[in-house]
Structure 1
Amino acid sequence: MTIKHAVAGVEDYKGPAGGWGALKAVAKALSHEMAVPRDVRSLLSMNQPTGFDCPGCAWPDPRHTSSFEFCENGAKAVAWEATSKRTTPEFFAAHTVSELWNWSDYALEGEGRLTHPMAYDHATDTYQPIAWEEAFARIGGALQALPDPNMAEFYTSGRTSNEAAFLYQLFVREYGTNNFPDCSNMCHEATSVGLPDSIGVGKGTVTLEDFDHADAIFCIGHNPGTNHPRMLATLREASKRGCRIVVFNPLRERGLERFQAPQNPFEMVTLGSTPIASSYYQVGIGGDVAVLKGMMKALLEMDRAEITAGRQGILDREFIAEHTRGFDALVANIDATDWKQIERYSALPRADIESAAKVYAEAERVIICYGMGITQHRHGTSNVNQIANLLMMRGNIGKEGAGICPLRGHSNVQGDRTVGITEIPSKELLDNLEATFPIKVPRAKGHNAVEAIEAIVNGHSKALICLGGNLAVAMSDPDVTFPAMRQLDLAVHIATKLNRSHLLIAKESIILPCLGRTELDIQATGRQSVTVEDSMAMVHASSGGLKPASEHLKSEPAIVAEMALATIPATKVNWRELIADYGRIRDKIEAVFADFSDFNKRVAEPGGFRLSVPASERVWKTKSGKAEFLVVGGLEEDPRCEQPGALILATVRSHDQYNTTIYGLDDRYRGITGRRDIIFMNAADLETRGLQHGDVVDIETLCNEGEEARTLSGLTAVAFDIAAGSVATYYPEANSLIAIDNYDRRSGTPSYKSVPVAVKRAAPQI
């Protein structure tokens, strides 16, 4: 048995999610970042009909908002953006890029908001201020000098508004390429690829109101307490009315166990909390296909028993017959799948899987929610298909209180795709662009994120424009990605804060500072609003109210328009007219995309409007016109997992983190304070390896023949409630363990959450 002795910065967290701990963390973040009381009061405008949309997660806003509609991490996101700290030209003059490279990511972003456009000077190894006009001229000249537009890559962050994203894809396509590596490629691309194959649309089918009617909610591979905390209020209400909430997750996460609602005076005063999960099953990392097949196998066995007993059965045969195709092939595959193999690969006993299947069978209306614990795998797209299969077996798509719910990350990552940020544009999109604008657009497939890095590595791509984000750090395999970025002729970063990607110096490196979501955006016709789309296809307006961090900032739409004018001197698009009034951009979005009819009118309504999701109405936009049951062959995700002593590693976010942005060095719900050099391990796995809680260890990847192992050294092993055979450590620090070619072949998503590794006592320091 592993003895848990004292380890610096590690303790057991005994409280619920939310509650006084969340309020204390909000107060700390605000006091450290926001110096002006009116800026703090701006939080009351977040997620309100006339305010700004949270720059954090994409959980939807309720129809009837309360006086404050923000969570702890949303407040941290606003404090991070609306900070009183500034990264000025004087800062850059005092610190060379070589020096800054040795700073932590947390320290770099902690310097505050960028205030001026900056260009790198090779002679002094510093960024120096540059006039906007010269910056755009340099960018346009460098892009014009490329022999082929396909030698440029155009990255987009999911915090980009619909208006900025639409202009960006218009600029890039008029320039001549479909190279759109996007943050979607690294998170929910398996959803965007898998769901269209299954149900004809790459979006979830539920609304927030569906959660009021569900009899059971299954939460698979996500952690709402950290990644989408406002969801906890929805789960709390469902739990209180008796809805069964079933969790499949390798780690015990406090936000899935119990929640103390900061808006509930009784729970706050009494220190009470509401249980969330009615059943919590710790599936092994990479065991998702196995557990989903196991549930389907249990359902088929229950159904056959019911039929044998002369009863109706539990499958929705009418739905299957009328709306689906491929059911017989699925049944044959499930029948051929052995229970012993299901137990082996899921790391769960048959009885647990059958118990979960019984809850599913007894519920008339079921929602399945999933996050990147499903998508960031070598078989992530197949995982998504299997969730759709399970729902379709009982007709749980296209009816009230039921459906599939992918939990997106960034606040507009879904909207960016909706308005054209894709490397695989449909013929309809391209035809509509040419019908709306007097331009010719490229028709060839472009690059996703992995393909973009590969193109930069092999020297084919020589320019990179990043509309937000921290691509190099977010991407897998920094040993390949970082040197590749330094080979570029041009690197442009449109950003609010300094990050490590900006320090990967190309021949020409430029930083363009932009307005944040919280700030006033004034253009020629006055104050502007933008729009975003949440995880449930609701589109609503966002209008910042804070004074910009610097008078030298420009909005993202304005920056995109100025780059287009500098790059395409003979452009056929009236860019200045579009950015003078963002309503004109929305008119063009409406002209290109039929779903946006009456865009300006509908988005002016409080709460906005929902885009069409045909599968929600049982209309299937697949090739066959039916929802498709799709078969996945085996249960094994990666043959390297079979090697002796193998553990499966997932990278995870801390509670003080949003994607690559580190708000602080604590991970409160997991009991970690002031550090990130941690690997979470099952106590039995520690003991088997002769290790103890608190030992310093090295992680080494397991390899196929001819591959070279990768090592991450000096982590502290922490005994944690995690499935046996599974380990977890922090992203992005562990990205060095993920080879650039370790990704889902169907979606291109890097395998951040299933890396076969060995964990060993750290080698002695010499």
Structure 2
Amino acid sequence: MSSEQKINLYAGPAGGWGALNSVKNTLLHHGIPVKGAKTLLSANQPDGFDCPGCAWPDRNHHSTFEFCENGAKAVAAEATARRATPEFFARHSVAELAAQSDFWLEEQGRLTHPMVYDAASDHYVPIAWDEAFALIARHLNALADPNQAIFYTSGRTSNEAAFLYQLFVRQFGTNNFPDCSNMCHEASGAAMRAQIGTGKGTVQLADFEQADAIFIFGQNPGTNHPRMLGELRAAHQRGARIVSFNPLRERGLERFADPQDKLQMATLGSSPISTHYFQLRIGGDLAAVQGMAKHVLELHARGHRVLDEDFIAQHTSGLHDWAALLASTPWQRLEEASGLSETQMRAAGDVYANAGSVIACWGMGITQHQHAVATIGAIVNLLLLRGNIGRAGAGPCPVRGHSNVQGDRTMGIWEAPRAALLDRLAAVYQFRPPRAPGVDTVGAIELMRRGGCKVFFAMGGNFAAATPDTLQTWAGLRQCDLTVHVATKLNRSHVVHGRAALILPCLGRTEIDVQASGAQGVTVEDSMSMVHISAGINAPASPHLLSEPAIVARLAEATLGARSAVPWGWLVEDYARIRDEIEKVFPDFHDFNARVAVPGGFRLRNPAAERQWATPGGKAAFSVRALAQDTPTQRAQERLGGDARVFTLLSTRSHDQYNTTIYGLNDRYRGVRGRRDVVFIHPEDIRGLGLSAGDRVDIHTAWDDGQERTVRAFALVPYDIPRGNLAAYYPETNPLVPLSAVAEGAGTPTSKSIPVLLVAAGATP
């Protein structure tokens, strides 16, 4: 947690003693060395709680603790001894809080009381829960149209809370359900639903034990999903090929020291991860995958018979058109677009062609691009060529972020709900759900900017920090009549508020949730469709906290009153009753309470994993999308002329953060200590700018709408990244992402491919 600023090359493996030391320091920093250790050992256990961090599944819920550095940070941060009490808010005006960093806000600890904004004093002051719900209800019921309200959802919200939330909001009358999926894996769902009939991956954790090759696109598991490294390490040790595509050299994709391997820890050893590492250009994945597939098709045409012709004939459509597209695409074009050589793409294609079973994993390095849907379509196409969907050791594996982001979507948190869900809600609860699509995250910001949103309600998350085009987002939030945030800790969204504002503190995943029938558990769905129960073990941070299901139920009662026949209060007395209601609406949750009582829970059915394709044609469809003729960076370069040097910037996490939550100011694996104001750049590009390592630059977005988007005084850090490409942390670089820069067919902000200019700090671009 030191604030000393240093940039030093990191030469060690991911994990190892560095990870253990980081966890020790985190526990001591939060003042909970004993309590914290006990809490960590209860994570992901049958009688404990699900980690509030990432959605990577657990191998065995009744095993010993499965170590994860960033999961430990998330647990320790929630179990911190620090408190943000009414006295804290009395000492600090909102203007003073707004001047602090995101890290400082998070460091103030757990929220303890519901708070309301007092405009006269510019302070948050305490408010009783009943008064808070009455205030929200007055604003909601005064709206001329229910669509003037927006209801945001974080991926940490449990299935029980999400189900009640979507039911309440739809009874209120809107589908305005922007959520964090809109900003991360929306493109995954859009692509896979069109091709294989489901927006979820087909892979189970056991498939990693049987895969002959694992391809990793646009993902950094060492920081974002550390437990995944254990699976990759085991796969490598048994001889599986692991092929990584990433513009940055990421330590977690190179070597890993397992903190639970006593011999490795004692000998300071480590295990290799990737057998092949391809550093392509930012956004070059579509061309790289097309190159691999082109090679496979050429091998088959030369008589090597590498395609699964029986699978293709029985289960797919559209191969002819895609093969024709690839045949007409020159290798030179693929090289230019990918940043890889023909030889490299053919080498990756050989790994694929020679592997019996293949898993393809991807993260937001794929989904946050203009052509994200096309790229994921190409990845799915590649799998279809050799029948790598619907059998052991194979399949698509989108690796999602927050612990229940997939479960929230399953529960109906979606601005574009399917008619079948609305029909079922109507039948079970005897009301007319709204049929018009709502707004997604970008649409919500646009609606706020136009003055069309009067009430913004956020169930968790940090909307003001997580979203693109920061100044536009903030301007939109400030136009709302009321903003409400359900949260465990203070964050940026609480100080960028509407004319009226509430902070509603809730229980965390680590805490005991006692309702009328006793202590409760909540359920979550991980990235591989496993549903399991989670029960906290710590005393609540404050006696004034409510659970998320209780907050939703009390808000529904206050707002809907006699208009709703749902027994909201009765349901919250025992969460098993909520699960009974979920079962009525979602057939795949039959016998929910009985099945979730089994350690490890149960897996939701995935028809595509059984080679049943819920597509219009009844088959898996090859996606036929050509390479783009230009990119945002190319367009900006043409517009600005040859004298300008346009770079492509991707935003990334440091190792000391999870999404917008900043745990510390270090990024161990990239050698950064005590700071976040850095931009990673190839050494030759630094020299080409006439600058030196450590020099400060302003970063300007090169967009064509005439709006100035700039972040200032970032230090240049030489790094192993392709020339013309940059990386910097978010949320600090979110102001550079234009609201209009979204994935085609998905609406996901293109935070991984922003055209920018670098100029010496203070100079004119």
Q: Normalized against structure 2, the TM-score is what?
A: 0.97
Aligned equivalents of 2:685, 2:179: Cα separation in 1: 37
Asked if the contact 2:67/2:259 (under 8 Å) is kept, the reply is no
Asked if the contact 2:57/2:530 (under 8 Å) is kept, the reply is yes
Which residue of structure 2 lines up, in the alignment, with residue 581 of structure 1? Answer: 574
Q: Is 1:631 the counterpart of 2:624 in the alignment?
A: yes
Q: CA RMSD in A?
A: 1.3
CA offsets, 1:482-540, max 9 Å, x none? 01101101111000011111112312101100000000000000010000000000000
Aligned equivalents of 1:331, 1:39: Cα separation in 2: 55
Instruction: Give secondary structure in 2 for the equivalent of 1:733.
Output: coil
Aligned equivalents of 1:701, 1:551: Cα separation in 2: 47
CA offsets, 1:29-52, max 9 Å, x none? 011114362343111110112210
Asked if the contact 1:256/1:276 (under 8 Å) is kept, the reply is yes
Instruction: Give secondary structure in 2 for the equivalent of 1:479.
Output: helix
Asked if the contact 1:257/1:277 (under 8 Å) is kept, the reply is yes
Q: 1:693: how far off?
A: 1.8
- Which residue identity is paired with 2:479? Q
Instruction: Give secondary structure in 2 for the equivalent of 1:28.
Output: helix
Aligned equivalents of 1:245, 1:720: Cα separation in 2: 23
Please say which of residues 433-442 and 195-204 is displaced more in the overlay.
433-442
Asked if the contact 2:175/2:434 (under 8 Å) is kept, the reply is yes
Which residue of structure 1 lines up, in the alignment, with residue 659 of structure 2? Answer: 659
Match of residue 610, structure 1, among 581, 603, 610: 603
Which residue of structure 2 lines up, in the alignment, with residue 206 of structure 1? Answer: 203
Aligned equivalents of 1:490, 1:763: Cα separation in 2: 37
Aligned equivalents of 2:170, 2:366: Cα separation in 1: 32
Which residue of structure 2 lines up, in the alignment, with residue 437 of structure 1? Answer: 429
Q: Is 1:558 the counterpart of 2:550 in the alignment?
A: yes
CA offsets, 1:261-302, max 9 Å, x none? 000001100000000000100011011111111111111111
Write out aligned runs for 1:119-134 (5 A). Answer: 119-134=116-131
- Which residue identity is paired with 1:403? G
Aligned equivalents of 2:290, 2:518: Cα separation in 1: 56
Aligned equivalents of 1:585, 1:484: Cα separation in 2: 35
Match of residue 293, structure 1, among 290, 302, 311: 290
Aligned equivalents of 2:703, 2:478: Cα separation in 1: 28
Aligned equivalents of 1:567, 1:386: Cα separation in 2: 46
Asked if the contact 2:404/2:524 (under 8 Å) is kept, the reply is yes
Cα distance change on mapping 1:542 and 1:445 into 2, 3 Å = same
Which residue of structure 1 lines up, in the alignment, with residue 104 of structure 2? Answer: 107
Which residue of structure 2 lines up, in the alignment, with residue 179 of structure 1? Answer: 176
- Which residue identity is paired with 1:582? Y
Instruction: Give secondary structure in 2 for the equivalent of 1:745.
Output: coil
Write out aligned runs for 1:34-45 (5 A). Answer: 34-35=31-32, 37-45=34-42
Which residue of structure 1 lines up, in the alignment, with residue 685 of structure 2? Answer: 685
Instruction: Give secondary structure in 2 for the equivalent of 1:569.
Output: helix
Instruction: Give secondary structure in 1 for the equivalent of 2:757.
Output: strand
- Which residue identity is paired with 2:651? T
Q: 1:639: how far off?
A: 4.1
Q: Is 1:752 the counterpart of 2:751 in the alignment?
A: yes
Aligned equivalents of 1:28, 1:402: Cα separation in 2: 39
Asked if the contact 2:103/2:661 (under 8 Å) is kept, the reply is yes
CA offsets, 1:401-454, max 9 Å, x none? 000100000000000000110011111101111121132211111110011111
Q: Is 1:342 the counterpart of 2:334 in the alignment?
A: yes
Asked if the contact 1:325/1:627 (under 8 Å) is kept, the reply is yes
Asked if the contact 1:381/1:747 (under 8 Å) is kept, the reply is yes
Write out aligned runs for 1:412-431 (5 A). Answer: 412-431=404-423
Cα distance change on mapping 1:64 and 1:174 into 2, 3 Å = closer
Aligned equivalents of 2:758, 2:340: Cα separation in 1: 23
Asked if the contact 1:34/1:79 (under 8 Å) is kept, the reply is no
Which residue of structure 1 lines up, in the alignment, with residue 588 of structure 2? Answer: 595
Query: How many residue pairs are counted as aligned between the two chains?
Result: 753
Which residue of structure 2 lines up, in the alignment, with residue 713 of structure 1? Answer: 712
Aligned equivalents of 1:384, 1:361: Cα separation in 2: 19
Cα distance change on mapping 1:764 and 1:444 into 2, 3 Å = closer
CA offsets, 1:316-359, max 9 Å, x none? 11111110111111011111111111111111111111101000
Which residue of structure 1 lines up, in the alignment, with residue 163 of structure 2? Answer: 166
Match of residue 640, structure 1, among 619, 622, 633: 633
Q: 1:637: how far off?
A: 5.8
Aligned equivalents of 1:761, 1:370: Cα separation in 2: 35
Match of residue 488, structure 1, among 480, 487, 491: 480
Q: 1:683: how far off?
A: 1.7
Identity %: 56
Which residue of structure 2 lines up, in the alignment, with residue 273 of structure 1? Answer: 270
CA offsets, 1:68-97, max 9 Å, x none? 123000000001111000000000001000
Which residue of structure 2 lines up, in the alignment, with residue 242 of structure 1? Answer: 239
Instruction: Give secondary structure in 2 for the equivalent of 1:367.
Output: strand
Unaligned runs of 5+ in 1: 1-6
Aligned equivalents of 1:184, 1:494: Cα separation in 2: 18
Q: 1:657: how far off?
A: 0.3
Which residue of structure 2 lines up, in the alignment, with residue 762 of structure 1? Answer: 761
- Which residue identity is paired with 1:481? T
Which residue of structure 2 lines up, in the alignment, with residue 411 of structure 1? Answer: 403
Q: 1:703: how far off?
A: 2.8
- Which residue identity is paired with 1:593? F
Which residue of structure 2 lines up, in the alignment, with residue 384 of structure 1? Answer: 376
Please say which of residues 615-624 and 635-644 is displaced more in the overlay.
635-644
Aligned equivalents of 1:745, 1:368: Cα separation in 2: 22
Which residue of structure 1 lines up, in the alignment, with residue 114 of structure 2? Answer: 117
Q: Is 1:730 the counterpart of 2:729 in the alignment?
A: yes
- Which residue identity is paired with 2:723? A
Instruction: Give secondary structure in 2 for the equivalent of 1:506.
Output: coil
Asked if the contact 2:155/2:403 (under 8 Å) is kept, the reply is yes
- Which residue identity is paired with 2:202? T
- Which residue identity is paired with 1:357? G
Instruction: Give secondary structure in 2 for the equivalent of 1:565.
Output: helix
- Which residue identity is paired with 1:720? Y
- Which residue identity is paired with 1:246? V
- Which residue identity is paired with 1:19? G
Which residue of structure 1 lines up, in the alignment, with residue 672 of structure 2? Answer: 672
- Which residue identity is paired with 1:506? G
Asked if the contact 1:641/1:648 (under 8 Å) is kept, the reply is no
Aligned equivalents of 1:89, 1:114: Cα separation in 2: 9
Aligned equivalents of 2:702, 2:139: Cα separation in 1: 42
CA offsets, 1:666-700, max 9 Å, x none? 00000000000110011222222222222212222
Aligned equivalents of 2:273, 2:347: Cα separation in 1: 18
Aligned equivalents of 1:34, 1:217: Cα separation in 2: 41
Q: 1:646: how far off?
A: 2.2
Aligned equivalents of 1:324, 1:476: Cα separation in 2: 37
Write out aligned runs for 1:494-573 (5 A). Answer: 494-570=486-562, 571-573=564-566
Q: 1:758: how far off?
A: 2.0
Instruction: Give secondary structure in 1 for the equivalent of 2:476.
Output: helix
Which residue of structure 2 lines up, in the alignment, with residue 4 of structure 1? Answer: none
Instruction: Give secondary structure in 2 for the equivalent of 1:166.
Output: helix
Which residue of structure 2 lines up, in the alignment, with residue 283 of structure 1? Answer: 280
Asked if the contact 2:633/2:647 (under 8 Å) is kept, the reply is no
CA offsets, 1:677-735, max 9 Å, x none? 1100112222222222222122222233x533422221111110112221100001001
Aligned equivalents of 1:701, 1:460: Cα separation in 2: 27
Aligned equivalents of 2:646, 2:310: Cα separation in 1: 45
Which residue of structure 2 lines up, in the alignment, with residue 3 of structure 1? Answer: none
Unaligned runs of 5+ in 2: none
CA offsets, 1:536-560, max 9 Å, x none? 0000000001000000000000000
- Which residue identity is paired with 2:601? G
- Which residue identity is paired with 2:206? E
Instruction: Give secondary structure in 2 for the equivalent of 1:588.
Output: helix
- Which residue identity is paired with 2:701? T
Asked if the contact 1:157/1:468 (under 8 Å) is kept, the reply is yes
Which residue of structure 2 lines up, in the alignment, with residue 55 of structure 1? Answer: 52
Cα distance change on mapping 1:59 and 1:508 into 2, 3 Å = same
- Which residue identity is paired with 1:248? F
